[in-house]
Structure 1
Amino acid sequence: MKKIALFLMISIIVFFPNESYGHQEDLNKLIFIVVNEQLIAFEDAYPEVKDGTTYIPIRFFAEAMGADVKWDNESNSVYITKDEGEIILDIPLKTLITDGGIIMTDCVYVKHNRIMAPFKVIAKCFGYDVSYIPAGPIARAKNNNARMVDEEVYFHFQDTMTKEKEKMILTIRNREKEEFRLRYKIAYITFDDGPSIYTERLLKILEQYHAKATFFMLADRITNYSEIVKKVAEEGNAIGLHGVTHDVKKIYRSPSILVSEMNACNDALQMVTGMKTTLIRVPYGSKPHMTEKFREAVLREGYKMWDWNVDSKDSEADYVSPAVILENVKEQVARRNVPIILLHERQSTVEALPKILEHLNQEGYILIPIDGEQKPYSFWKDMYER
């Protein structure tokens, strides 16, 4: 299992090259903020240390101090007031001005739509002393209302900070993945109905073209081709669930039956790889069978249902000409911003795949696996807008 985890980590570094660097860089700059005995929870942007100065998203810090924050559209400035004190943050000039006459330039900036400003200056302006606790690390603003000494603060918040850091890591990772997807032309190759006698050949072709794919697998085939399943994961591809029966009359009899098929498929995957997944693709696509009750059922179970927007039509006959498959893909890819290409594990698909990958490479696409954390694509457009 360690080998599988290592290959998955390598695939993330390969396909999200800037994420690995930026993610670690952001983590090194993270610092927790405490006001007296309140650990502040931040959203979207987090406190960070730059050139020895701690910067904070101002809104959350101001609220913790009991200050008012007002935005002035005319001057593009933020006014922070508490008791008799006031600070002005001039966004265009990147300048901080206090009512005591302190003017600091190049110390205000916007990060992920949050206004950042120096923690120490703002805290002191409103009558707080500032201390730094290396464990954490924690920057603390305290006044006469503080009850704990600094030595107690870290131990008091240790468990909470661990959970907050996990949230920060997830936010940073997801943001950088999204930035990567926006920066590059991305396409997703997906295979249904495997694994099979063709899977290993598909993997070799993918490797030859430096491409990764997503394989939606059936439970009995996962069990019967266990070594191939491990290889799919080890080589950095994604695995999704395709159910058990692949029979319309059985799987769509009720929402509970559909969910139980996906759960059984997930159990088979865990037995083979030690991992579970949230990715599913229902047989024959989600329309018309996935009515509202079915959709609600998979959402409650935590599954993310993926359809496709490019149909290769490689399963319309026992053998579809590779040239026809290629043309189907080329024609539809040209009309999609982010192609999600439906393929099946068949002989004709194996023959067509090199030409498909050549075309996508020539068009400048990077072929990456579907990420279990990203927003899915569904034929039911509103499914993930709730």
Structure 2
Amino acid sequence: MKTFSVRFYRRLILVFLSLLILAPTAVAVRLGMKCGRLEKQLEAVREEPVPRGTGMEETGPSVEPILYQTLYPDLYGTAQLPDRRVRAEDTVYLTFDGSPTANTQRILDILDQYGVKATFFVVGRTDDASLDLMREIVARGHTIGLRSYSESFQTIYSSVEAYLEDFDRIYRLVYETTGVKAEIFRFPAGSVNAYNSGIYQELIAEMLRRNFVFFDWDVTGEDTRVGGVTAQKVEEAVLREMDGKSRGIVMLHDSAGKGAVVDALPRILSELQEKGYGFQPLTAAVMPVIFSYKSAP
């Protein structure tokens, strides 16, 4: 059997110790080289320019915007939203859809009599009388919001692009007529309806991206019934749906053939005031009512 000298064992131990020292060092150097390459790649991503208006400016690398996001580059809201939206107690937000019409002046006068401020979601009527009424809405301290330029739901909701075209027209009409850059709006027939069922998610996302605030409703006068409705029925519907609510966003129509709404208005205001409700116009700071996606047709 072969024997080894003490010198041999000493050398073997030295080799073993050298391996213990050099192996981790080599691994660390290799990892350092990899990390350096990775850091350079990350720096290249950080420095890559990001197109404005995509919502990606602060959150990551550039992405191609959806085509409709590039349309109407000046169509952005100016609303300054608070950290928490206002949810007032014992408050009614009275809203009218479809103004201005021949009924609008009567509505304004009744609201003045009861000391009530409301919200008018207007459409694209451009005759002199209608433009004067838009200015009167603002002059009397009410909120003016946007509904639509056209009243053809099929046209408005034929695509996201078509909706934006219509919205841009009513936005510019209101601004040029009243000097108001409207911050709030209402989707015709509500944010989720039978006309926009294929595009409502894209529409809602795009309008929020453009910093506009929309409001659905949770109380109506049921004034769209086929065959018409009486003032008493409008009043009963509003009072019934407000019963037990601490606040409500009430939707009534200010449109042709809705004289019953005007006739019902004094009783609605007096009854709700007697019940202890106050009235406020909508603003971008108010907690909205928004229809659930689950209610999609």
TM-score, normalisation: structure 1? 0.50
The one of 260, 280, 286 aligned to 2:185: 280
Give runs of aligned pairs for residues 114-153 of structure 1, distance below 5 A. Answer: none
The one of 137, 159, 171 aligned to 1:232: 137
- Which has the larger Rg? 2
Q: Secondary structure at the match of 2:125?
A: helix
Over 3 Å counting, the alpha-carbon distance change for 1:217 and 1:223 in structure 2 is farther
Alpha carbon RMSD of aligned pairs, Å?
2.3
Q: Secondary structure at the match of 1:229?
A: helix
Matched, 1:245 2:150: yes
Displacement of 1:176 after TM fit? 11
The one of 329, 337, 354 aligned to 2:246: 337
Give the residue type in structure 1 aligned to 2:232. A
Matched, 1:193 2:102: no
Q: Is the 8 A contact 1:243 1:265 kept in 2?
A: yes
The one of 356, 359, 365 aligned to 2:277: 365
Over 3 Å counting, the alpha-carbon distance change for 1:239 and 1:318 in structure 2 is farther
Whole-angstrom distance in 1 between the partners of 2:178 and 2:227: 31
Q: Secondary structure at the match of 1:378?
A: coil
Give runs of aligned pairs for residues 157-306 of structure 1, distance below 5 A. Answer: 178=86, 182=88, 184-221=89-126, 225-288=130-193, 289=196, 291-306=200-215
Matched, 1:328 2:240: no
Q: Secondary structure at the match of 1:282?
A: coil
Give the residue type in structure 1 aligned to 2:91. I
Displacement of 1:175 after TM fit? 8.1
4+ aligned runs moved over 4 Å, structure 1: 174-177, 221-224
Q: Is the 8 A contact 2:192 2:293 kept in 1?
A: no
Displacement of 1:328 after TM fit? 0.6
Equivalent residues, number: 208
Displacement of 1:253 after TM fit? 0.9
Displacement of 1:304 after TM fit? 1.0
Structure 1: gaps spanning 5 or more residues? 1-169
Give runs of aligned pairs for residues 30-179 of structure 1, distance below 5 A. Answer: 178=86
Give the residue type in structure 1 aligned to 2:266. P
Q: Secondary structure at the match of 2:272?
A: helix
The answer to which structure, 1 or 2, has the higher relative contact order (CA under 8 A, 6+ apart) is: 2
Q: Secondary structure at the match of 1:220?
A: coil
Displacement of 1:222 after TM fit? 7.8
Over 3 Å counting, the alpha-carbon distance change for 1:175 and 1:210 in structure 2 is farther
Displacement of 1:318 after TM fit? 5.7
Displacement of 1:336 after TM fit? 2.7
Matched, 1:378 2:290: yes
Whole-angstrom distance in 1 between the partners of 2:279 and 2:119: 10
Identity percentage of aligned residues: 27
